[in-house]
Structure 1
C-alpha cells in the first residue's frame, strides 16, 4: 500500500475522517473544519495523485488503492464524511467496516449507478452532458479534460479556469486521470455496493447533503440512497452547488452539528 499525506484540522472530541473529491485535496476541508472547530477534529488524507500524496503507481484498481489508506486512518469508531467521489469511499468503508463508522455523511455522492436504476432519463442527460469531457480524455488532452470536468461541477459563482492559480490548475490536471479510472465503480457498481445484503450493513445514522443548484442527477442519487439505507435523511443547502462544503461551510457545519446532536451525541457542543 502506497503511503499518503494526512492533514489534521480543527480541535474537538469528535474524530472525523474526511475524504475529499476528485481533483481537490485535503485542504478543501479547511472552511468546514473552522466552522466545526471545538466540535470535531478532522483526519483528512490526500488521495493518491492529489495534494501532497504520491502519484498512483497504476497497479490494481484505483478505488481499492484509495480506500486502503483511508481505512488505515479509521483506527477506532469515528464519524466519516465524504464529498463527491470521496463519498463513494466513505460509503464503502461504512459497508465493509460498519463497526468503525459511528455516523456517515455523504455530500453530493456521484454514484451514477443509482440514477441509472432509479432515474434513467436524468442519467441519460448526465451522459450527454459528460460527452465533451469523455471526448477530451479520448483525444488524450488532459488539460482540456480537467478544465471541462471542473466546469461541469461548478456554478455561476465559481471561478473560471483562467482565473484559477496556475498551481491549482496543474494539480487538477495531475489528478484528473482518476475520473476514467473510477467510471466502472460509479456507473456500473463494479464494487457491488448496491447489493442489498451488503448495503444493509451500513445501518449507522447517515446524512445525505446536496446543493439546490447541483445537477439534477445528484438529487436522484441522494433520494435513491436514502431509500436504500436503513437510517438516512437527505438535506439540501439552498444556493449551493456541487462544491457546497467549500462554498457553504457554515451552513454545512450547522447541519452536521444538528445531525450529530440528534443521532450521535457524544461530546458535541451545542451552538
Structure 2
C-alpha cells in the first residue's frame, strides 16, 4: 500500500517523509495526533511503493506533482527534510488548500549562505565521489552520518539494500534544492499560510541557517527548536514533535473551531 493512514480526527493532514524513508516513518508522530487528525502519509516518488521516477523529468517537479494528488481542501500539511521542501512547494502552488504548514528541517539549501552551508557542501561532496566509483554503500554511510539516520553497517540487509538502491536520490534533488530551479525563494514572501519551522538542537548547522532565513522571509511563520533532537526528530523524538505540532495548531487560530454559517 503506497499510502499509510492513521486517525479519525476532525481535520485532514498530509505528512510527507524524508529522503530514503517511506510514509510509515510518520507512525510515531501520527500515534500522538490520531485523535485530532485524519492522516495520510504517501510513499513519495521512488520511495517504497510510490510512483516510479521518469529520468526525463525533473525529480522535484515529479515528486511535487505526485504528492499534490493527495492534497485535499483545508489540509494541515506536514513535511520532514526533503518532504518538507515538497510541502513548502505545495503550499506555494496551492495556498487555498493548505490550512497550516509544518516544516521540519526542510533541506532547502539555496536558502543558506553561511558557514553551515559551506561545511555541508564540503562534506556531502564525498557522496557523488563514492557513487562515481560505484560504491553505493560508502555513499550511504557518508549521507547517513551527516543526517543522523543510524549506522548503515548495523542495519538489516534489506534496509541496507533499500537505501543503496536509492542513494542517488539526493543528487537528483539538487536542481530544485540547491539551484532553486522551482523558484521557491522568490515566492516565499507571498505565502500567508500559518507556518511552523521545527528544528532539532543537534542538527547540522546548515539547518539553522535555512530555518533562520525562512523565518525571516515567511510573513506568518514561527520557529521552534527541539532540545536533544537532531535531524530525524520525527522518528527519535516523535512525542515531542507531535506536541510541538499540536501546540502550533492551538495558536494558529482559527483551528478546529466550528465554522460559522456562511463562513
Cα distance, 1:137 vs. partner? 2.2
1:204 counterpart = 2:201: no
Cα distance, 1:265 vs. partner? 4.5
1:126 counterpart = 2:120: yes
TM-score, length-normalised on structure 2? 0.93
Unaligned runs of 5+ in 2: 258-263
Aligned equivalent of 1:15:
12
Residues 29, 239 of structure 2: 8 Å contact kept: yes
Q: Residue 153 of structure 2 is aligned with which of 155, 162, 173? A: 162
For 2:173 and 2:182, how far apart are their aligned partners in 1? 10
- Please identify, of 24-33 and 167-176, the stretch whose mean Cα deviation from structure 2 is larger: 167-176
Cα distance, 1:161 vs. partner? 1.3
For 1:103 and 1:39, how far apart are their aligned partners in 2? 14
Superposed counterparts of 1:73-222, under 5 Å: 73-116=70-113, 119=114, 121-154=115-148, 159-195=150-186, 198-222=187-211
For 1:159 and 1:146, how far apart are their aligned partners in 2? 11
1:50-77, CA deviations, whole angstroms, 9 ceiling, x for partnerless residues?
A: 1122431323111111111211111312
1:43 counterpart = 2:34: no
Unaligned runs of 5+ in 1: none
For 2:147 and 2:75, how far apart are their aligned partners in 1? 29
Q: Residue 242 of structure 2 is aligned with which of 250, 253, 257? A: 253
For 2:190 and 2:24, how far apart are their aligned partners in 1? 31
SS of the aligned residue for 1:235 comes to strand
1:24 counterpart = 2:24: no
For 2:183 and 2:51, how far apart are their aligned partners in 1? 28
SS of the aligned residue for 2:185 comes to coil
For 2:184 and 2:229, how far apart are their aligned partners in 1? 28
1:68 counterpart = 2:59: no
1:191-212, CA deviations, whole angstroms, 9 ceiling, x for partnerless residues?
A: 11011xx223321100001100
For 2:146 and 2:52, how far apart are their aligned partners in 1? 24
Residues 94, 201 of structure 1: 8 Å contact kept: no
Cα distance, 1:85 vs. partner? 0.7
- Please identify, of 69-78 and 235-244, the stretch whose mean Cα deviation from structure 2 is larger: 69-78
Residues 103, 264 of structure 1: 8 Å contact kept: no
Aligned equivalent of 1:234:
223
1:63-116, CA deviations, whole angstroms, 9 ceiling, x for partnerless residues?
A: 111111211111312110110011110010111110011100000111111112
SS of the aligned residue for 1:43 comes to strand
